[in-house]
Amino acid sequence: MNTAGTSFSYRPGVTATADVLVVGAGLAGLHVATLLARQGHDVLLAERRSSLGHAIRTTGIFVRKTLDDFPLPPEHLGPPIRRVVLYPPGLRRPVSLVSDRDEYRVGDMAPLYAAAADVAADAGVRIALGTSYAGRQGDTFRLVGREGPASVRARFVVGADGARSRVARDLSLDLNHHVLVGAEEVFGLPGNDDGEPPTFHCVLDPSLAPGYLAWVVNDGQHAHVGIAGYADRYPQGLRAALQRFSASAPGLAGVDRPEVVERRGGPIPVGGMLRRVSCADGLLVGDAAGAVSPLTAGGLDPCLRLSELAATVLDEALRAGNPEEVLAGYDGAALRAHFRGRLMMRRGLAQVRTPAMASAAFTLLRTRFGRAAAGRVLFGDRSFPAPVHEFT
Ligand SMILES: Cc1cc2nc3c(=O)[nH]c(=O)nc-3n(C[C@H](O)[C@H](O)[C@H](O)COP(=O)(O)OP(=O)(O)OC[C@H]3O[C@@H](n4cnc5c(N)ncnc54)[C@H](O)[C@@H]3O)c2cc1C
């Protein structure tokens, strides 16, 4: 990562200043920080991890709309995936769907985050890795890093600090309450051209993934084996369920698994966009704002799109004489309205509580109507609503 020119180190006891303090260098924080710096603002980005390649919390599946609309570095994206196979409990008689377009690509997330940090640094963002946001004290924000505690005075703070946002709490904004937990194993594949085409395997089995799906993504370069569901429905714990799934997961025939695999995991907010995501002192983006599809649990497209709106609003707030009014226009309730259908489907998925119910759902899925409906969810053109900002 080439952040040397703009990496931030502070002197304990001295209050640093910035136009905007962004907390969290996931994709949302990196994107909003870059856009603000490109608009000429002084941006400090604080991230508690000391390396963006560690403790990754995503599989990294990017959908077609994101690939079409955002310039992600192609060298850090796996081969296109067109094929999805859906399995009932027991894995018998799966339903295979093949799109005539490239639908997904899986990001190689460690280098992809590093590349995004380089872009941010080139735009002028000062990046403080290994630096935790530790709260607010009057008009300053407290950070704790390698050199000890420090304070920052910033016009605005952006909470890009994930599903359990401390910034949201400190600004008295809405919090995520409806959350799944997910975990996966990731390993490289030797690259065998004779294997099956890049495929996304999804298993609907509430004993493994209560309220969601278990998955294997095998794009020929990497395999991701994961599960997600409601934490209180894993009596033996998430890790034991992942082990059980991993032992019989589909899509890995003939694959030699290495002894050591990368482990990823984290919370996934699926309650829909939060309503109150801004106040006079700042705003939330990404998972902190609940910007995740309640049905598919995809958050990468929403976090990029919402970050664009956030940067537009903050740019205007920094230039305008009426910042409170401008920030009030960053309204989660208006965006939430677009998720009504997906929230209803989430409620439906949450009700699939037994393997028998999941198997019954496959009876419908095997019909022409069922396949068409699944195709619309998996290969549809819908993404996070393009946020519209009315300038004040
Ligand atoms: C297992 C799993 C698999 C997933 N797979 C997919 C997928 O394939 N496709 C998809 O579209 N979505 C997926 N999602 C959802 C998606 O990854 C998230 O919605 C997206 O990454 C959110 O980005 P973010 O920047 O808002 O948050 P994050 O990526 O969580 O970033 C938040 C950052 O804030 C930092 N931070 C937190 N607190 C502090 C603090 N106090 N001080 C400083 N820094 C702090 C964290 O270290 C972190 O770097 C998945 C989620 C999980 C858990």
What is the reported pLDDT for 2? 44
Nearest CA to ligand 1 atom 29: 26
Query: Which residues contact ligand 1 via a Cβ below 6 A?
Result: 23-29, 46-49, 57-61, 132-133, 160-162, 166, 182, 184, 226, 264-266, 268, 286-287, 292, 298-301, 303
Q: What are the beta bridge partners of residue 144?
A: 132, 149
Q: What are the beta bridge partners of residue 20?
A: 43, 156
Do the domains 73-106+179-269+354-379 and 4-55+109-176+272-343 match in fold?
no
For 90-147, how does the pLDDT look when each residue is reduced to its tens digit (9 = 90+)? 999 999 999 999 999 999 999 999 999 999 999 999 999 999 999 998 889 999 998 8
CATH tag, 4-55+109-176+272-343: 3.50.50.60
- Residue 391: pLDDT above 90? no
Distance CA 390, CA 392 (A): 6
What is the CATH class of 73-106+179-269+354-379? alpha beta
What is the reported pLDDT for 6? 54
* Element spanning 227, H or E: strand 222-229
DSSP symbol at 90: T
Domain ranges within the chain, ordered by starting residue? 4-55+109-176+272-343, 73-106+179-269+354-379
How far, in Å, is the centroid of ligand 1 from the Cα of 158? 15
Asked if 64 and 231 touch (Cβ cutoff 8 Å), the reply is no
Mean pLDDT of 185-192: 86
How far, in Å, is the centroid of ligand 1 from the Cα of 57? 5
Quote the pTM value.
Answer: 0.95
Ligand 1 pocket test target in 287, 293, 296 with most atoms within 8 Å of CB: 287
